[in-house]
């Protein structure tokens, strides 16, 4: 590391990716800082720099070996950091930069006195991860399948029996236990990962409640969709329409494959249809109607949000927001399993909640090859108005933005609006 780069780093102060430490720091304290960086987006510790940014330098013998040993002995799983020297950063003072990238094997733990502690970086401090934060890291690493966890207090009676029977008989084409055979039903649901054994009792899993629960929000308040229609292009305090969409994810079907009771996907489309206007035009002398947004695209965006959102984030629903110029579907949590937006556009397969994906696929909601974005959403919007869906990943949420009009139409609408105000 050059002296100039070191001075630029020091001038920016400590933040979520940079920490200053004295040379005499204990190995377990340095391990804490590195673990916090590993569990976020990576970072750099400057060893030999005081909290105020002054350079005190390092004097520890065999410093690189000492750092390498603590990264093997004090961090689990062990890591190999990138080490670089800034020689003579101040007269007679050297600084060692210890850099770690975002860890591929999250979560990482600091090991001290035979105890593992998981840390995360928040601003310029490192703190112990909460249970919820730790669960999200395990889930992101695919070492924990959150949807398979038991839901305390949710036994067999927490399920909507009609939907369960409809799924196994009509959708799966199987034979069912007798209605009074609770043991048979528990075995069937356990074998399909809709129940699990917890403390010796058969208990519904999170996935089971989301898909087939009588009242999913009773056990999982974050299980629904908040749908809002605003008057203009920005959120307002008195929207045109505001609804909490609740209930099991799947519908109750009929013997002829119709729908007797809607699931969340149908509820979401009904809200969009009630709060957008159909457009009619002539094609070859025939009057043809179409909606402001293609139904197939809306359904795909809602399905993706339902099956891929991070349900370990409590206290927040999926948000479906209709504005005067666009629609947004916001899903809590980042994309799973290191998937990127560009990979989604090319049709890469991914799943955070595999049981949800499997059963929604049984109902025909999910593409067999997991390519709904590339095969439905993008072509659907291009055919509709020449726009592509905007796929926006942020730290704690993922947004699908659909534009009501193409770029040319939006520009003309803006110009017309401007003339009307003159």
Give pLDDT, residue 284.
58
Mark whether 392 and 283 lie in a shared domain: yes
Kindly tell me if the per-residue pLDDT of 396 is higher than 90. Answer: no
CA-based nearest residue to 148, from 215, 216, 210, 224: 210
142, part of any domain: no
Give 37's strand partners.
Answer: none
Give pLDDT, residue 422.
29
Mark whether 332 and 189 lie in a shared domain: no
Kindly tell me if the per-residue pLDDT of 419 is higher than 50. Answer: no
390, part of any domain: yes
Mark whether 255 and 324 lie in a shared domain: yes
Local confidence band at 314 (pLDDT 50, 70, 90 cut-offs)? confident
Give pLDDT, residue 4.
85
140, part of any domain: no
Q: Between 1 and 175, name the one with better pLDDT.
A: 175
Kindly tell me if the per-residue pLDDT of 258 is higher than 70. Answer: yes
Give pLDDT, residue 338.
66
Give pLDDT, residue 418.
41
421, part of any domain: no
Mark whether 177 and 243 lie in a shared domain: no
Local confidence band at 421 (pLDDT 50, 70, 90 cut-offs)? very low
How far apart CA 140 and CA 315 sit, in angstroms, is: 19
Mark whether 257 and 363 lie in a shared domain: yes
Mean pLDDT of the chain: 88
Provide the domain count of the chain.
Answer: 3
Mark whether 231 and 212 lie in a shared domain: no
Kindly tell me if the per-residue pLDDT of 319 is higher than 60. Answer: yes
Mark whether 209 and 199 lie in a shared domain: yes
Give pLDDT, residue 200.
83
Q: What is the mean pLDDT of residues 73-86?
A: 93
Give pLDDT, residue 72.
93
Give pLDDT, residue 420.
38
Give pLDDT, residue 294.
93
Residue 355's domain comprises 221-415
Give pLDDT, residue 409.
65
Give pLDDT, residue 353.
84
314, part of any domain: yes
Local confidence band at 132 (pLDDT 50, 70, 90 cut-offs)? confident
Q: What is the mean pLDDT of residues 393-419?
A: 73
% of the chain exceeding 90 in pLDDT: 64
Mark whether 23 and 118 lie in a shared domain: yes
Mark whether 240 and 104 lie in a shared domain: no
Local confidence band at 237 (pLDDT 50, 70, 90 cut-offs)? confident
Kindly tell me if the per-residue pLDDT of 65 is higher than 70. Answer: yes
Give pLDDT, residue 248.
96
95, part of any domain: yes
CA-based nearest residue to 291, from 311, 306, 275, 314: 275
Q: What is the mean pLDDT of residues 363-375?
A: 79
Give pLDDT, residue 157.
95
CA-based nearest residue to 204, from 414, 218, 98, 261: 218
Give pLDDT, residue 414.
55
Q: Between 414 and 348, name the one with better pLDDT.
A: 348
Mark whether 183 and 256 lie in a shared domain: no
Kindly tell me if the per-residue pLDDT of 340 is higher than 60. Answer: yes
Q: What is the mean pLDDT of residues 66-86?
A: 93
Mark whether 247 and 315 lie in a shared domain: yes
Give pLDDT, residue 417.
45
Q: 166, 194, 219 — which closes off a domain?
A: 219
Kindly tell me if the per-residue pLDDT of 32 is higher than 90. Answer: yes
Mark whether 373 and 264 lie in a shared domain: yes
Kindly tell me if the per-residue pLDDT of 287 is higher than 70. Answer: no
Kindly tell me if the per-residue pLDDT of 279 is higher than 80. Answer: no
């Amino acid at each position: 590391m050059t002296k100039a780069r070191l001075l630029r780093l020091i001038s920016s102060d400590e933040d979520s990716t940079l920490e200053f430490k004295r040379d005499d720091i204990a190995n377990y304290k340095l391990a804490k800082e590195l673990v916090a960086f590993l569990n976020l987006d990576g970072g750099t510790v400057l060893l030999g720099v005081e909290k105020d940014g002054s350079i005190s330098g390092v004097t520890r013998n065999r410093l690189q070996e000492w750092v390498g040993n603590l990264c093997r002995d004090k961090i689990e799983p062990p890591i190999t950091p990138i080490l670089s020297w800034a020689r003579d950063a101040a007269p007679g003072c050297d600084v060692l930069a210890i850099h770690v990238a975002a860890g591929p094997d999250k979560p990482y733990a600091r090991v001290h006195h035979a105890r593992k502690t998981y840390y995360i970086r928040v601003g310029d401090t490192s703190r112990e991860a909460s249970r919820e934060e730790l669960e999200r890291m395990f889930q992101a690493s695919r070492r924990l399948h959150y949807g398979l966890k038991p839901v305390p207090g949710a036994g067999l009676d927490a399920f909507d029996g009609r939907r369960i029977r409809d799924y196994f008989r009509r959708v799966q084409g199987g034979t069912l236990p007798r209605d009074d055979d609770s043991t048979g039903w528990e075995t069937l649901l356990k074998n399909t990962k809709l129940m699990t054994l917890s403390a010796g009792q058969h208990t519904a899993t999170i996935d089971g409640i989301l898909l087939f629960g009588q009242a999913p929000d009773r056990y999982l308040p974050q299980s629904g969709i908040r749908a809002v229609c605003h008057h203009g292009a920005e959120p307002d305090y008195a929207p045109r329409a505001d609804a909490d969409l609740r209930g099991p994810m799947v519908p109750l079907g009929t013997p002829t494959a119709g729908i007797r009771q809607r699931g969340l996907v149908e509820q979401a489309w009904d809200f969009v249809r009630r709060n957008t206007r159909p457009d009619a035009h002539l094609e070859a002398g025939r009057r043809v109607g179409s909606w402001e947004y293609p139904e197939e695209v809306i359904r795909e965006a809602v399905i993706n949000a339902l099956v891929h959102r991070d349900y370990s984030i409590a206290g927040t629903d999926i948000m479906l927001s209709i504005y005067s110029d666009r629609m947004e579907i916001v899903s809590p949590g980042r994309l799973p399993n290191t998937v990127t937006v560009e990979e989604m556009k090319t049709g890469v397969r991914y799943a955070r909640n595999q049981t949800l994906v499997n059963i929604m696929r049984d109902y025909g909601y999910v593409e067999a090859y997991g390519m709904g974005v590339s095969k439905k959403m993008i072509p659907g919007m291009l055919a509709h108005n020449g726009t592509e869906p905007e796929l926006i990943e942020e730290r704690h949420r993922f947004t699908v933005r659909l534009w009501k009009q193409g770029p040319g139409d939006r520009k003309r609408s803006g110009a017309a609006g401007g003339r009307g105000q003159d």
